[in-house]
Amino acid sequence: MRKKLIAANWKMYKTPDETRAFFRDFFPLVVGHERDEIVVCPPYIDLAAALEAARGSNISIGAQNVHWKPEGAFTGEISANMLLSLGITHVIVGHSERRQYFGETDDTVNLRLKAALESGLIPICCVGEVLEEREAGLTDDVLRRQCVRAFHAISSKKAAKLVVAYEPVWAIGTGKTATPELAAEAHAVIRRAAAEIFGEPFASQLRILYGGSVKPENASALMAQEEIDGALVGGASLEAKSFAAIVKY
């Protein structure tokens, strides 16, 4: 049995004060919840406030990206060491918004993923097709390619902590969720790719989250799929009540 992981991706929302306010409301709603792992990924400037608020609780804090070098002249970037020094445990890598708007490629995703795994951070590596690719029947090829390139030159031993998130780009922020069956099919494609790259035992342990318009109303149907090992939640994670309802699907 793979323990499900429910993660919040706050994207570019909330100040430190708003972060503290979120946790004040959120804690009582999920206190003692052990069935699923809970991770919240706020913007960098909120990480310290989130860590302080979550200390000693059942909630882990993640960042939304990480650079592959330990330090250097890379304006605007943050290294794995920097995140670890704060107490961060998780990091999102290769989100489609990074790929679409900030020039992230399969190769930079691979570099970031390697750096995260080397450092001991738990990466949540995002893959997913855009609408035109789905309509052209290319979904499986795209997912396979993204996995092969993201996992390039990483051993199964190094990849032990890897988490993958399937986020169809057409479902992000659109209110159009993939049906549970459609998501499960895509997860199976990703799991097969992982089996080819890392071996069957690894693939059967790999957690694959679904992301894209996950809401309290659709969470339980998605989580009922055996292939779906959790959720990566954007919009609906910004409000304590709605994120708690998803955690407790």
What residue ranges bind ligand 13P (CB under 6 A)?
9, 95, 167, 172-173, 211-214, 232-236
Supply the minimum distance, in Å, between the C-beta of residue 165 and ligand 13P.
7
Q: Which is nearer to ligand 13P, 123 or 212 (CB)?
A: 212
129 as an active site residue: the answer is no
Please state, in angstroms and rounded to a whole number, the distance separating the CA atoms of residues 21 and 92.
Answer: 23
Q: Which is nearer to ligand 13P, 203 or 219 (CB)?
A: 219
- Which residue is closest to ligand 13P by CB? 234
Q: Three-state SS for 88?
A: coil
Q: Which is nearer to ligand 13P, 65 or 79 (CB)?
A: 65
Q: Which is nearer to ligand 13P, 186 or 232 (CB)?
A: 232
Question: 37, 129, 133, 167: which is the annotated catalytic residue?
Answer: 167
Supply the minimum distance, in Å, between the C-beta of residue 172 and ligand 13P.
4
37 as an active site residue: the answer is no
Supply the minimum distance, in Å, between the C-beta of residue 71 and ligand 13P.
27
Supply the minimum distance, in Å, between the C-beta of residue 72 and ligand 13P.
27
Question: 95, 129, 133, 227: which is the annotated catalytic residue?
Answer: 95
Exposed/middle/buried for residue 72 (C-beta within 10 Å: 0-12, 13-18, 19+): exposed
Residue 240 CB partners (closer than 8 Å, separation 6+): 22, 23, 25, 26, 29
Q: What is the dihedral of CA 55, 58, 63, 66, to 10 degrees?
A: 100
Residue 36 CB partners (closer than 8 Å, separation 6+): 3, 4, 5, 6, 230, 247
Q: Which is nearer to ligand 13P, 9 or 110 (CB)?
A: 9
Supply the minimum distance, in Å, between the C-beta of residue 193 and ligand 13P.
20
Kindly provide the residue ranges of all beta strands, DSSP E only, lying in the chain, ordered along the sequence.
Answer: 5-9, 37-41, 59-63, 90-93, 122-127, 163-166, 207-211, 230-233
User: How distant, in Å, are the alpha carbons of 77, 145, 148, 194 from that of 197?
Assistant: 29, 12, 7, 5
Show which residues are catalytic: 95, 167
